[in-house]
């Protein structure tokens, strides 16, 4: 049975657009045709424009006066800076809070990861796993300012991650290795795996810019 949609039209438009941007289905730099978008969504222009304004506030959409709306783009330097922050935060937390990382949650993540059927597809499940692992590392700090700073760049990290398409099985393997190293209590190995993982992803993304 189909479930009732409780979100307002504006909220639905916002959610749909945000997901398309985060999944890089709409590519960074791409112009948004307001009229066409409203037609595709089956909505009028006004709520679409409101949703876009909200996304401008969040830094995911750029508005150029007298030109229109564009998906946020990145310079090569921005990519490097964002990925440097990611590496800084995640490695710091892994190193500093290694013993506090929730092993129970990690085991569940590992099982889910091994349960995945199509290991070459970038499925919704893969995305969730990916996000959960990296979130787990950050939240263990229990530091409001650190979690907040990470969240400020998290959406940008998600977009960048979706720009590289061919590394799903590799990323999956790296995640599995990382979780296993943590569960085995092998901190040095875990740090090495995470560092290599982030470096590899960073290099793959930077090539696109």
Q: How far is the CB of 18 from its own copies (least distance, A)?
A: 21
Between residues 132 and 149, which has the closer beta carbon with respect to its own copies?
A: 149
Angle, to 10 degrees, between the axis of helix 187-206 and the axis of helix 76-96?
170
Between residues 95 and 121, which has the closer beta carbon with respect to its own copies?
A: 95
Q: How far is the CB of 163 from its own copies (least distance, A)?
A: 18
The residues near 6 (Cβ < 8 Å, ≥ 6 apart) are none
Please report, as ranges, the residues that interact with its own copies according to CB under 8 A. 78, 81-82, 84-85, 88, 92, 141, 143-146, 149, 152-153
Q: Report the C-alpha gap between 160 and 76 in whole angstroms.
A: 11
Between residues 58 and 84, which has the closer beta carbon with respect to its own copies?
A: 84
Q: How far is the CB of 59 from its own copies (least distance, A)?
A: 11
Between residues 46 and 88, which has the closer beta carbon with respect to its own copies?
A: 88
Q: How far is the CB of 102 from its own copies (least distance, A)?
A: 20
The two tokens of residue 62 are: 């750029």
CB 205 within 8 A of CB 163: yes
Residue 132: closest CA among 150, 155, 109 = 109
């Amino acid at each position: 049975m189909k479930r009732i949609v409780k979100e307002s039209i504006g909220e639905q438009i916002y959610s749909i657009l945000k997901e398309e941007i985060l999944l890089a289905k709409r590519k960074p730099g791409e112009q948004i045709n307001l009229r066409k978008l409203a037609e595709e969504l089956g909505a009028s222009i006004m709520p679409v424009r409101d949703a876009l304004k909200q996304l401008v506030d969040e830094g995911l959409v750029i508005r150029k006066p007298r030109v229109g709306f564009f998906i946020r783009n990145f310079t090569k330097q921005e990519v490097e800076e964002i990925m440097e922050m990611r590496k800084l935060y995640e490695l710091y937390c892994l190193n500093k809070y290694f013993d506090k990382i929730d092993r129970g949650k990690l085991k569940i993540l590992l099982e889910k990861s091994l349960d995945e059927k199509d290991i070459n597809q970038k499925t919704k499940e893969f995305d969730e796993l990916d996000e959960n692992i990296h979130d787990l590392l950050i939240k263990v700090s229990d530091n409001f300012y650190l979690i907040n700073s990470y969240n400020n760049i998290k959406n940008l990290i998600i977009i960048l991650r979706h720009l590289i398409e061919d590394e799903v099985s590799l990323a999956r393997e790296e995640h599995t290795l990382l979780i296993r190293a943590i569960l085995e209590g092998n901190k040095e190995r875990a740090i090495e795996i995470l560092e290599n993982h982030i470096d590899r992803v960073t290099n793959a993304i930077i090539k696109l810019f």
